[in-house]
Chains A and B, each alone.
Chain A
Amino acid sequence: MAISYIPHTGEDRQAMLAALGIRSVEELFADIPPDLRLQRPLALPPALSEPELVAHLEGLAAANSGAAKVCFLGGGVYDHFIPSVVPYLAGRGEFATAYTPYQPEVSQGTLRAIFEFQTMIAELAGLDVANASMYDGATALAEAAFMAVNIARRERIVVLGGVHPEARQVLETYAGGQNLPVTVVPVDPSRGTTDLKALDEVLAAGDSACVLLQQPNFYGCLEPAPEIVRRAKAAGALAVVSADPVSLGLLEAPGRYGADIVVGDGQSLGLPMAYGGPHFGYLACRGEYVRRLPGRIVGRTLDREGREGYVLTLQTREQHIRRDRATSNICTNHSLMALTATIHLAALGPRGLRRLAEICLHKAHYLAERIEGLPGFRRVFQAPFFKEFAVAYERPDFDPATAALAAGYLVGPDLGRWEPERRGQLLVAVTERRTREEMDGLLAAWGVRE
């Protein structure tokens, strides 16, 4: 039997057309100019039966080799271990199906979870308040830039060259829509961190709303963040730090060295790589900017009888009444992803997060030192690094990425994807999941030549 997979029967359609007083679907679309309409049937292959469809999808899935490889990939998505308690609890029906907690009377559990998320993020950032999450690190960075433009009442957005190039693209897309100028400060090519002299030159104009920096930066290098923050603020700009939350287990909270807004991507906190999504972004700021904080915020309060309760707070402004004047158009958050991270952080605890960061640091440094000892290889940048670094191999007769892949190891991405002059320079990330054996295996794939 042929099933069209279209829920309306011919009779349904006739009834709808009759109710509209027209005879055909063509007539319904008459208002759309003909040149905007597709004048031919959609180019679709013939329908498949269910077993055929399953077989087809299994074939596509089998073509993905990534899952079986050992992952040293970096560049913003990391292969961290996810304790089984995390997906187990986050996958519970109460969480997985709950939608927007607009009605606090029946959403206390969800609201409390979000409140705890905000509390943990504020603590990691070293700042007073955090919102209930953003879509991802890149959009959180762009939203932070808008916040800063409104707070500083200046227009220029200064972004450091060490910020992930794709986050910079998102930022430029956002800023372009509002005609806000974006200035990129170059990275010192040998150190891999911000050229402070170039930063000073940009700041000297006195029109910068904010300086956006990433710590560790896109190349894995540790920026002199306190120094950059100090210079930004001396120039009257806000300092926005985008930080890998795992690194905050070890590095000082940016709020403590003066950052006004701290953002980042939360994939490292218990979310699978999943081909790049969904992630969540976090955004924390000083208390005085709470009314500029985009998105939603959960607050804790007491009812008339002194009992604790949780509500969406400060929502009059951006969420409901003044949409036309809102400075952000975010109207939801990645609640389930944020909840997953909350469970992950609770499972690790502060000491666990610190230990995790230490393991990443030590393993990454082990591998980096060994790679530097291999003939032909060098580390591209001299600055200190956390869990990720760039390596180069400059002889044309050997391709490290291909050699690694052949031995079952994924490395990269290749920086040439964003900067053509850096073609052949690979990012290598080492998480706590990578074993000594795996690292030595990668070294063997690069060191032992046929």
Chain B
Amino acid sequence: MAHEVPEGLYYTEEHEWLRVEGEEGVVGITAYAQDQLGDVVFVELPQVGAEYRAKEAFGVVESVKTVSDVYMPVSGRVVAVNGALADRPELVNQDPYGEGWLVRIQILNRDELAGLLDAAAYRQRTS
């Protein structure tokens, strides 16, 4: 089954998405990823202020089947985390590109955006 892959976002091989909004970006996991994981029961997020390099694990998504690390698409400093996931982790399943977002970051190295996939390329990887 084909999963929604919105245009205008950046994607990683590890199934994170990144929406760039000025100097900042919002990070989540793709519809494909949440479908592979199954029902998400817990999301562990970093502390605001923490800095990560591109491809570094910043959190954990736990489903009934497995536990997976989630990785930074680009180097960034966490400026906000989605607190709603503490009580409603299922938002990741229900609305992966919207209410199920994970963290908002300040992008520290815009050059790294060039290494990410666009929607067409990501769609091809997961079809």
B47 contacts A291, C-beta separation under 8 Å: no
A316 contacts B62, C-beta separation under 8 Å: yes
B47 contacts A316, C-beta separation under 8 Å: no
A57 touches B (CB below 8 Å)? no
B47 contacts A321, C-beta separation under 8 Å: no
Q: Which residues of A contact B44 (CB under 8 A)?
A: 291
The CA-CA distance from A180 to B67 in the complex, in Å, is 26
Q: Which residues of A contact B42 (CB under 8 A)?
A: 291
Q: Which residues of A contact B65 (CB under 8 A)?
A: 316
The CA-CA distance from A17 to B119 in the complex, in Å, is 60
B36 touches A (CB below 8 Å)? no
Whole-angstrom distance between the Cβ of A175 and the nearest chain B Cβ: 23
A317 touches B (CB below 8 Å)? yes
The CA-CA distance from A317 to B60 in the complex, in Å, is 10
Q: How large is the interface on A (under 10, 10 to 19, 20 to 34, 35 or more residues)?
A: under 10
Interface code B52-89, partner A: CB below 8 Å = 1, 0 otherwise? Answer: 00000000001111110100000000000000000000
Interface code A304-331, partner B: CB below 8 Å = 1, 0 otherwise? Answer: 0000000000001100011001000000
Q: Which residues of A contact B69 (CB under 8 A)?
A: 325
A317-B62 contact, Cβ under 8 Å, with A291-B42, A322-B67: yes
The CA-CA distance from A153 to B46 in the complex, in Å, is 11
Q: Which residues of A contact B62 (CB under 8 A)?
A: 291, 316-317
Whole-angstrom distance between the Cβ of A67 and the nearest chain B Cβ: 49
Chain B residue at minimal CB-CB distance from A322: B67
The CA-CA distance from A305 to B42 in the complex, in Å, is 26
The CA-CA distance from A322 to B62 in the complex, in Å, is 11
B67 contacts A153, C-beta separation under 8 Å: no
Q: Which residues of B contact A317 (CB under 8 A)?
A: 62, 67
The CA-CA distance from A322 to B42 in the complex, in Å, is 15
Q: Which residues of A contact B67 (CB under 8 A)?
A: 316-317, 321-322
Q: Which residues of B contact A321 (CB under 8 A)?
A: 66-67
Whole-angstrom distance between the Cβ of B92 and the nearest chain A Cβ: 16
Whole-angstrom distance between the Cβ of B57 and the nearest chain A Cβ: 9
Which of B62, B64, B65 has the most chain A CB atoms inside 10 A of its CB?
A: B62
The CA-CA distance from A93 to B62 in the complex, in Å, is 37
Q: Which residues of B contact A325 (CB under 8 A)?
A: 69
B66 contacts A153, C-beta separation under 8 Å: no
The CA-CA distance from A260 to B109 in the complex, in Å, is 41
Q: Which residues of B contact A322 (CB under 8 A)?
A: 67
Whole-angstrom distance between the Cβ of B99 and the nearest chain A Cβ: 22
Which of B63, B65, B67 has the most chain A CB atoms inside 10 A of its CB?
A: B67
Whole-angstrom distance between the Cβ of A272 and the nearest chain B Cβ: 40
Whole-angstrom distance between the Cβ of A318 and the nearest chain B Cβ: 9
Chain B residue at minimal CB-CB distance from A291: B42
Whole-angstrom distance between the Cβ of B16 and the nearest chain A Cβ: 18
The CA-CA distance from A321 to B64 in the complex, in Å, is 12
The CA-CA distance from A316 to B65 in the complex, in Å, is 7
Whole-angstrom distance between the Cβ of B69 and the nearest chain A Cβ: 8
Chain B residue at minimal CB-CB distance from A153: B47
Chain A residue at minimal CB-CB distance from B46: A153
Whole-angstrom distance between the Cβ of A153 and the nearest chain B Cβ: 7
Whole-angstrom distance between the Cβ of A440 and the nearest chain B Cβ: 59
Q: Which residues of B contact A153 (CB under 8 A)?
A: 47
Q: Which residues of A contact B47 (CB under 8 A)?
A: 153
Whole-angstrom distance between the Cβ of B86 and the nearest chain A Cβ: 9
Whole-angstrom distance between the Cβ of A147 and the nearest chain B Cβ: 14
The CA-CA distance from A317 to B44 in the complex, in Å, is 12
Q: Which residues of B contact A316 (CB under 8 A)?
A: 62-67
Whole-angstrom distance between the Cβ of B39 and the nearest chain A Cβ: 12
Whole-angstrom distance between the Cβ of A209 and the nearest chain B Cβ: 15
The CA-CA distance from A316 to B69 in the complex, in Å, is 13
Interface code A321-365, partner B: CB below 8 Å = 1, 0 otherwise? Answer: 110010000000000000000000000000000000000000000
7 residue pairs, one from A and one from B, having the closest CB atoms: A316-B67, A321-B67, A317-B67, A322-B67, A321-B66, A316-B66, A291-B42
Besides A153-B47, A291-B42, A322-B67, 9 other CB < 8 A contacts?
A: A291-B62, A316-B63, A316-B64, A316-B66, A316-B67, A317-B62, A317-B67, A321-B67, A325-B69
For this complex, 16 residue pairs linking A to B, each with C-beta atoms less than 8 Å apart, are: A153-B47, A291-B42, A291-B44, A291-B62, A316-B62, A316-B63, A316-B64, A316-B65, A316-B66, A316-B67, A317-B62, A317-B67, A321-B66, A321-B67, A322-B67, A325-B69
